[in-house]
Amino acid sequence: MTGANSTAQQTPACISDAELFMDELLEDPSLAQTREERRRLQLLTAKAEQNCLHCPLLEQCLYDAVVKHEVAGYCAGTTQRQRQLIRHRLNWRVEGENLDIFAGVHSGHQIDHDEVLRLRQANPTDSLESIALRLGCSLSTVKRHLRKERRGESIGRVKLAPVSPSVEQVMAAYQDVMGVREQGRRAA
């Protein structure tokens, strides 16, 4: 059955060999304390690297791991440190996960500073949490607006979202970082 074989060939190694990619040493290389553990980490990393380099999803996986998400462990042919170096070359920072969503707060909309102050003045005995719920924002947002008012700080303009690097820029930075690593190996 060629259909089953072609499906198996298209399955990324991180799925077909999930145990390798979820190994605790690849997830957290700092756990490799003994000589045997460091040697095992080298072998696991080499095997994972070969699997990733032959994966048809490498480019998209690398882009997502560098630009969109902070991924722990080995991913897209790179270690967490290598992805940090790639981001540094691209002058890119991955934003932290928005945990407000789990609290029922919808981010992405601007909260009116004057509305926060108006609600606080109109309801001085209400909790800040209840004001946050009415506005559909987090408690920390309400506190931030009230703190700025108390300090007399001006309310700045909305920051424009930075332009994400292109796939080509990520791949070029990846090649630079991996090239630096290869030169370092030859020099040693």
Mean of per-residue pLDDT scores for the chain: 82
Q: Which position has the higher pLDDT, 19 or 2? A: 19
How far, in Å, CA of 102 to CA of 96, rounded? 14
- Banded pLDDT at 124 (limits 50, 70, 90): confident
- Whether 60 and 104 map to the same domain: the answer is no
60: in domain: yes
The yes-or-no verdict on residue 135 having pLDDT over 50 is: yes
Q: Is residue 73 part of a domain?
A: yes
pLDDT (average), residues 84-99: 84
Cα–Cα distances in Å, from 127 out to 19, 51, 148? 48, 54, 18
The answer to whether residue 173 is domain-embedded is: no
pLDDT at position 4, please?
A: 44
My answer on whether 81 and 107 are in the same domain is: no
Instruction: Specify the pLDDT at position 97.
Output: 64
pLDDT band for position 103 (cuts 50, 70, 90): low
Residues 74 and 117 occupy one common structural domain: no
**Same-domain pairing of 37 and 114:** no
The answer to whether position 62 is within a domain reads: yes
Is residue 137 located within the same domain as residue 59?
A: no
Query: 15 lies in a domain?
Result: yes
Instruction: Give the chain's domain count.
Output: 2
Single out the residue in 50, 76, 95 at which a domain terminates. 95
- pLDDT exceeds 90 at position 48: yes
One-letter amino acid identity for 128? L
In DSSP terms, which residues pair with 78 in a beta bridge? Answer: 75
Helical H segments across the chain, by residue range: 2-10, 13-16, 18-21, 24-27, 35-53, 58-63, 80-90, 113-122, 128-135, 139-151, 167-187
Which position has the higher pLDDT, 162 or 57? Answer: 57
Do 75 and 120 fall within a single domain? no
Reply yes or no on whether the pLDDT at 86 is more than 90. Answer: yes
The per-residue pLDDT for range 146-182, each reduced to its tens digit, is 888 888 876 655 556 678 999 999 999 999 999 855 5
For residue range 6-28, what is the model confidence (pLDDT) as tens digits? Answer: 444 578 888 888 999 999 999 99
114 & 44 share domain: no
Tell me: do 110 and 146 sit in the same domain: yes
Among 57, 80, 95, the domain boundary falls at 95
Clarify whether residues 123 and 84 are in a common domain. no
Question: Where in the sequence is the domain holding 77, given as residue range(s)?
Answer: 9-95
